[in-house]
Amino acid sequence: MTEISINEFRQFKDRMDKAKKILLVVHKKPDGDTLGSACALGGYLKKLGRDFKIFSASPLPADFEFLPFTDHITGDANAWSKDLDLIIILDSSNLKYAGVDEEISRLSPKPFLINIDHHASNSLFGDLNFVKSDAASTTEIIYGFFRDLHIPLDSEIATCLLNGMMTDTMTFHNAATTASVIEASSRLLAHGAKFRDISRHIFFNKNLSVLKLWGKALANLSADNPWNIAVTFITQKDLKEAGLEENESTGLANFLNTLDARAVMVLTEQSDGTLKGSLRTTRENVDVMSLAKFFGGGGHKKAAGFTINGKIEKTANGFRVA
């Protein structure tokens, strides 16, 4: 993996050390990697005594409430104050994906913008860009910052970083799992990362409503197409009947990625009239990011996503997007 230089990390540290008011930004419908990255940096900034907040355009999923420093997360528009002098966008290929393109366009003067990400489709929108498409997760990049600059890690920061690595590698099962991420995870455990807490909250904490929702999705599952792609869907009606929000249906695509299919696609109806597509594969010769790009999305070769306008309509032969 091509390493970010120590001098580049020093630039990053210098910006954080000197900034007076900092906003960390996670992407819409935040996952374990973007939250782990933001919370780990939040822990560092808290030790420095810096004034910081973590902005999320979407509510915090209940599964991640256990993470340290989530009490700094806000969706309040007042977080975009004129006296911000540093914004750090985490795990987002572009500002629209982060859900803050309009907020940033309205700021004047413009704060310094740092972009940290591991998506190959990243548009390099920052004044300073740390983009490593061969990293397993954005938290692996953040871990490199702590490691290379010999910044001490405590149990809380280590837990945040491990959380991101575990979720983006599907507990070290998918193709993103490399020797470097295993080594990093081992060191984080040595620093007190709470592996069991992460496992319990993220992977073994599905309530009955979620499992019933997944049961409906399994009933809708089909793979009788020329491309051998396993496809299923979740409608707004399914979510309402289960008493769940859209962000509580996550994890199904990863679960289905054990199927003997070229790829998996889960379509979930959103309340704003769009469809969110989640794509996964374990096949070495399949690139789901290319399919996601066709629909205007992005991601990684083995895990990608997109959003399109439309809704699910059931038919005699299955379903169609209307």
Q: What is the DSSP letter of 222?
A: B
CA angle 257, 263, 266 (to 5 degrees): 70
Sequence ranges of the domains in the chain: 6-203, 208-321
pLDDT: is 258 or 198 the higher one? 198
Token pair 């006296």 is found at: 83
Q: Quick one: average pLDDT of 69-90?
A: 96
For the record, the structure tokens of 227 come out as 């491309």
CA pair distance 102, 59, nearest whole angstrom: 18
CA pair distance 141, 58, nearest whole angstrom: 24
Q: Quick one: average pLDDT of 38-60?
A: 97
Q: What's the pLDDT band for 3 if we cut at 50, 70, 90?
A: confident
Q: Quick one: average pLDDT of 31-42?
A: 97
Q: What is the pTM of this model?
A: 0.86
When the pLDDT of each residue in the chain is averaged and rounded to a whole number, the result is 93
The one-letter code for the residue type at 211 is L
* Statement: residue 175 has pLDDT above 80: no
Return the number of other C-beta atoms located less than 10 Å from residue 172's C-beta: 14
Contact 278, 253 (CB under 8 A): yes
Give per-residue pLDDT as tens, 207-242: 899 999 999 999 999 987 788 999 999 999 999 999
Domain 6-203: CATH superfamily, name plus number: inorganic pyrophosphatase (n-terminal core) (3.90.1640.10)
End-to-end CA distance of the chain: 43
Q: In the prediction, which pLDDT does 284 show?
A: 84
Q: What's the pLDDT band for 2 if we cut at 50, 70, 90?
A: low
CA pair distance 38, 45, nearest whole angstrom: 10
Q: In the prediction, which pLDDT does 1 show?
A: 43
Q: What's the pLDDT band for 8 if we cut at 50, 70, 90?
A: very high
Nearest Cα neighbor of 241 from 277, 275, 209, 276 is 209
CA pair distance 155, 18, nearest whole angstrom: 25
* Statement: residue 309 has pLDDT above 50: yes
Most confident of 27-36, 199-208, 238-247: 27-36
Q: What CATH fold (topology level) applies to the domain 208-321?
A: Diaminopimelate Epimerase; Chain A, domain 1 (3.10.310)
